């Protein structure tokens, strides 16, 4: 009798235990599924896009399309070179304009600004980051385009209308800096205070400390912030579509009009999506964007790892 009570008791604890175990296994299975789900979606997108761009790839070779500058979907000419050059041009010009501003602002916010000023500037930068880019595009259409067309371009001896690579880069550099600033400030503020104290302690000035110690230590973080900004410019759609002037030729000056890969998609998508070869071409542009951005993130990861090893503190 006593034995049976005991076994019933142990059964009960065993039951409770297995229930907890089951729950544990179930939830961990859930988490795993959720993780694989993200990968699955990514793979699905890539496979769908490649599948959809097959009709185009069957007719033209990639090398031929990437090196040709004839873009004329009406006549089945799909040359992507102008858009590729335009995208790279805009991205690089944007980073040249935006990066110094972003890094200097980040240094100011992390090291110099104090109290209310810091809160004020910081919150304004956050608000700037939250403004939808279409609003920047609209404002730029009224303010930046006439300014570039009437004052800036003539000053450089160009007779542009104000639309073009330079205008897009200028506006994009305003759009991406808030992100780069926030991320850079975070990596600067994450540095331990001992770094600053030690540096100041051995007699370095504040600027020397920032330049030789802090920027190096926060280097990988700032670098990845810049790369993130680069990725955003690369895939930017609405602002280039509104401001670049939509001409599929290889731009010969910063004030020239042009085309980027995303604008190619957005300009032709509405009218020509129902023509199979056109659709295929636009989706192939998407594949190129995806591949480039992926290559970029991958190399960024490698470089960041390198830098972190070199710039240890």
- Told to check if 284 binds another protein by CB under 8 A, we report no
Could you give the angle at the alpha carbon of 234 between the alpha carbons of 266 and 105, nearest 5°? 130
> How many residues of this chain interact with another protein, rule: CB under 8 A?
38
Interface residue with another protein among 94, 248, 260, 280 (CB under 8 A) is: 248
- Told to check if 252 binds another protein by CB under 8 A, we report no
In degrees and rounded to multiples of 5, residue 296 shows phi and psi of -65, -50
- Told to check if 235 binds another protein by CB under 8 A, we report no
Interface residue with another protein among 6, 271, 291, 298 (CB under 8 A) is: 271
Q: Which is nearer to another protein, 165 or 214 (CB)?
A: 165
Question: For residues 97, 99, 102 and 104, what is the CA-based torsion angle, rounded to 10 degrees?
Answer: -100
Closest CA to 93 of 240, 307, 237: 240
- Told to check if 107 binds another protein by CB under 8 A, we report no
Q: Residue 259 Cβ, how far from another protein at the closest point, in Å?
A: 8
- Told to check if 164 binds another protein by CB under 8 A, we report yes
Distances (CA, A) of 188 to 36, 112, 223: 34, 12, 12
Restricting to residues 60-79, name those near another protein by CB under 8 A.
Answer: 71-75
Q: Which is nearer to another protein, 125 or 145 (CB)?
A: 145
- Told to check if 162 binds another protein by CB under 8 A, we report yes
Q: Residue 86 Cβ, how far from another protein at the closest point, in Å?
A: 12
Structure-block tokens of residue 25: 């296994």
Q: Which stretch binds another protein (CB under 8 A): 54-62, 162-170, 174-182, 290-298?
A: 162-170
Tell me the C-alpha distance between 122 and 131, whole Å. Answer: 15
Q: Which stretch binds another protein (CB under 8 A): 36-44, 210-218, 243-251, 299-307?
A: 243-251
Q: Which stretch binds another protein (CB under 8 A): 55-63, 215-223, 269-277, 296-304?
A: 269-277
Decide: 260 and 83 in contact? Cβ < 8 Å: yes
- Told to check if 247 binds another protein by CB under 8 A, we report yes
- Told to check if 169 binds another protein by CB under 8 A, we report no
Q: Residue 190 Cβ, how far from another protein at the closest point, in Å?
A: 37
- Told to check if 54 binds another protein by CB under 8 A, we report no
Interface residue with another protein among 85, 236, 241, 283 (CB under 8 A) is: 241
Q: Which is nearer to another protein, 5 or 159 (CB)?
A: 159
Q: Which positions lie near another protein, rule CB under 8 A?
A: 71-75, 141-142, 146, 159-164, 241-242, 244-249, 257, 263, 266-279
């Amino acid at each position: 009798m006593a034995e049976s009570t005991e076994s019933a008791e142990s059964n009960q604890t065993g039951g409770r235990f297995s229930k907890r175990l089951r729950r544990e296994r179930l939830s961990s299975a859930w988490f795993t599924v959720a993780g694989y789900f993200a990968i699955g979606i990514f793979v699905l997108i890539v496979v769908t896009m490649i599948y959809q761009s097959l009709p185009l790839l069957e007719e033209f070779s990639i090398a031929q399309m990437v090196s040709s500058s004839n873009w004329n979907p009406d006549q089945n000419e799909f040359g992507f070179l102008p858009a590729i050059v335009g995208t790279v041009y805009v991205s690089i010009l944007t980073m040249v304009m935006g990066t110094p501003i972003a890094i200097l602002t980040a240094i100011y916010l992390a090291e110099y600004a104090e109290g209310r000023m810091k809160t004020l500037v910081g919150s304004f930068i956050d608000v700037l980051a939250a403004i939808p880019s279409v609003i920047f595009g609209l404002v730029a259409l009224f303010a930046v385009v006439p300014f570039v067309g009437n004052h800036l371009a003539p000053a450089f001896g160009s007779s542009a209308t104000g639309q073009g690579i330079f205008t897009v880069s200028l506006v994009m550099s305003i759009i991406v800096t808030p992100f780069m600033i926030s991320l850079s400030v975070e990596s600067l503020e994450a540095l331990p205070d001992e770094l600053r104290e030690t540096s100041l302690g051995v007699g370095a000035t504040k600027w020397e400390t920032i330049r030789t110690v802090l920027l190096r230590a926060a280097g990988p973080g700032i670098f990845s912030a810049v790369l993130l900004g680069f990725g955003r410019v690369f895939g930017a759609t609405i602002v280039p579509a509104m401001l670049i002037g939509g001409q599929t030729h290889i731009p010969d000056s910063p004030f020239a009009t042009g085309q980027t890969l995303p604008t190619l998609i957005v300009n032709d998508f509405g009218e020509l999506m129902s023509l199979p070869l056109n659709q295929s071409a636009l989706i192939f542009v998407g594949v190129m964007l995806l591949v480039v951005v992926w290559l970029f993130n991958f190399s960024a990861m490698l470089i960041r790892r390198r830098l972190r090893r070199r710039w240890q503190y």
